[in-house]
Chains A and B, each alone.
Chain A
Amino acid sequence: MKIQKLKAAVAVATLAALSLGATAANAATANATARAKILRQITLANTSDLQFGTIVTGAAASTVAISSGGARTCGSGLVCSGATTAAGFTIGGTTGAVVTISVPASVSLVSGADTMTASLAASATTATLVANAGSFSVGGTLSVGANQADGDYVGTFTATVDYQ
């Protein structure tokens, strides 16, 4: 009797359980904002003087007013003549920016030892720049004393403009 012995190769299969059901968390994204406001330097240029013209004084004190548009109001007892202008200024800066405008309350005009005082008023206290530019004017009211001494009276004042 011949006995065949079969060697059976037993294949052992290792079962691999494929696990695909894991709930992996997904990446999360959000957009943050970065922002800045950058402004160019402000420039300010004087284009005209505050000019009260020629005044013949009287025996009583009076006033001469120049509006921000340059129109003159000659007080009683005075004789006024000559050209008048309001002080003019041009502003340079960033388009759309709002600037504040300030001038001193008054200015002293001097001729030798003699003085007069003029109060000042700007045409606006703020301005919004358009095409990188803006402008404003300054008028004032000059107080003329009784029998004010003759002379050429001159004074200076500083206008200030800043970003709001």
Chain B
Amino acid sequence: MMNVGTVIRIVLAFALPLPGTASIAQSCQLCATAPADPAPSLRALSVTIDAALDFSTAVYTNRDSGSIAIEARTGRRQMIGFAALGGPALAGTVTITGEPFARVTVNLPRTVVLTSNLGGTADVTEIRTDLPPHPVIGPNGRLVFTFGGRLTARNGVDGDFRGRIPVTVDYN
């Protein structure tokens, strides 16, 4: 009677591909290599400012504070405590280019501070766009939107006011 020990040696050869390294050819018949799906390549996004948010020229009326609001959708201007001195008020206009039909997220700050050449400051608040809740780049690879806000000046500050509003866009 003979004891036969049968040793079954199963050799599994497999390789876990590490980032940046080449995969090792495997002999495992029960293993399968999942195909590496290529990630979608999206057109690079770009942002172009077509028009500044321009509250134009105004003079205080009967007090030393006031506000000027520009509606994003219509560009209409509303003044409190100011009188217009001519020149059009303009909503800001931005053009985004990127992958057609891609969803994007557009970010603007809600508030910025403008500084005048005479040292005063004025706040621009309620910065809003005319974009829908889930903006999508059009079939031509472009998305154009406008934005407005409310300028508030206090304590009789005057002069030429300037400020920056960063516009950031990313794919969802």
Residues of A within 8 A of B (CB): 1-4, 6, 8, 10-42, 94-96, 163
Chain A residues within an 8 Å CB radius of B30: 10, 12
Whether the pair A36, B8 counts as a contact (CB closer than 8 A) is no
Q: Bound state CA distance, A2 and B2, in angstroms?
A: 8
Q: Bound state CA distance, A140 and B1, in angstroms?
A: 145
Closest chain A residue, CB of each to CB of B127: A34
- The residue from B4, B14, B44, B147 contacting A28, defined by CB atoms under 8 A apart: B44
Whether the pair B58, A20 counts as a contact (CB closer than 8 A) is no
Whether the pair A35, B165 counts as a contact (CB closer than 8 A) is no
Q: State how many angstroms separate the Cβ of A4 from the closest Cβ of chain B.
A: 5
Q: State how many angstroms separate the Cβ of A72 from the closest Cβ of chain B.
A: 39
Whether the pair B167, A32 counts as a contact (CB closer than 8 A) is yes
- The residue from A1, A3, A19, A33 contacting B39, defined by CB atoms under 8 A apart: A19
Chain B residues within an 8 Å CB radius of A11: 12
Chain B residues within an 8 Å CB radius of A38: 57-60, 82, 116, 122, 153, 157-159, 161
Interface residue count on the B side (C-beta < 8 Å): 85
- The residue from A12, A35, A39 contacting B54, defined by CB atoms under 8 A apart: A35
- The residue from B157, B164, B168 contacting A27, defined by CB atoms under 8 A apart: B168
Whether the pair A22, B68 counts as a contact (CB closer than 8 A) is no
Q: Bound state CA distance, A40 and B157, in angstroms?
A: 8
Residues of B within 8 A of A (CB): 1-8, 10, 12, 14-19, 23, 26, 28, 30-49, 52-61, 64, 68, 82, 85, 92, 94, 96, 98-99, 112, 114, 116-118, 122, 124, 147, 149, 151, 153, 156-171
- Interface of A: prevailing SS: loop
Q: Bound state CA distance, A13 and B55, in angstroms?
A: 65
Chain B residues within an 8 Å CB radius of A20: 19
Q: Bound state CA distance, A21 and B38, in angstroms?
A: 7
Q: State how many angstroms separate the Cβ of B86 from the closest Cβ of chain A.
A: 9
Closest chain B residue, CB of each to CB of A23: B41
Q: Bound state CA distance, A42 and B60, in angstroms?
A: 9
Q: Bound state CA distance, A155 and B149, in angstroms?
A: 50
Q: Bound state CA distance, A36 and B44, in angstroms?
A: 34
Q: State how many angstroms separate the Cβ of A152 from the closest Cβ of chain B.
A: 38
- Could you show 26 A-B contacts with beta carbons less than 8 Å apart? A1-B4, A4-B6, A6-B8, A8-B8, A11-B12, A13-B14, A13-B28, A14-B34, A15-B33, A16-B16, A21-B38, A25-B42, A28-B44, A28-B46, A30-B167, A33-B53, A34-B149, A35-B52, A35-B161, A35-B163, A36-B56, A36-B151, A39-B57, A94-B158, A96-B118, A163-B59
Whether the pair A10, B61 counts as a contact (CB closer than 8 A) is no
Closest chain B residue, CB of each to CB of A162: B85
Whether the pair B31, A12 counts as a contact (CB closer than 8 A) is yes
Q: Bound state CA distance, A33 and B90, in angstroms?
A: 11
Closest chain B residue, CB of each to CB of A30: B47
Q: State how many angstroms separate the Cβ of B107 from the closest Cβ of chain A.
A: 9
